[in-house]
Amino acid sequence: MLHNFAADFEMYGVLDAVASGPIDARLSENSTMVGVGMSMEGIEQNPIVYDLMSEMSFHQRQVDLQVIFHKTFSQ
């Protein structure tokens, strides 16, 4: 995932795509995908997107976004 290109200070990200895209890619026919990675030009600007993407290598199906919201904001 290339997120926050040019160090824009905004809260954006398509969470549905982050929650399902890596899984769809890994489970697609003839996939050789073994994990996920992030290239963040700026950090600590959108913790939900970063937290969700970092967990995607552990999940076998789309994650419940409400669980991610609760986990991120209850700390």
Q: pLDDT tens digits for 47-59?
A: 778 888 888 878 7
Dihedrals phi, psi of 55, to nearest 5 degrees? -90, -10
Q: How confident is the model at residue 44 (pLDDT cuts 50, 70, 90)?
A: low
Q: How is 23-45 classified by DSSP, letter by letter?
A: HHHHHSTT--------EESS-SS
Residue listed under structure tokens 């929650």: 19
Secondary structure letter of residue 54 according to DSSP = H
Q: pTM for the full model?
A: 0.67
Q: How confident is the model at residue 7 (pLDDT cuts 50, 70, 90)?
A: low
If we measure between CA atoms, which residue out of 32, 35, 27 comes closest to residue 54? 35
Look at residue 29 in the predicted model and tell me its pLDDT.
93
- Tokens for 45? 């600007």
Q: pLDDT tens digits for 58-72?
A: 877 777 888 777 776
Look at residue 9 in the predicted model and tell me its pLDDT.
59
Q: Where are the domains of the chain?
A: 2-73
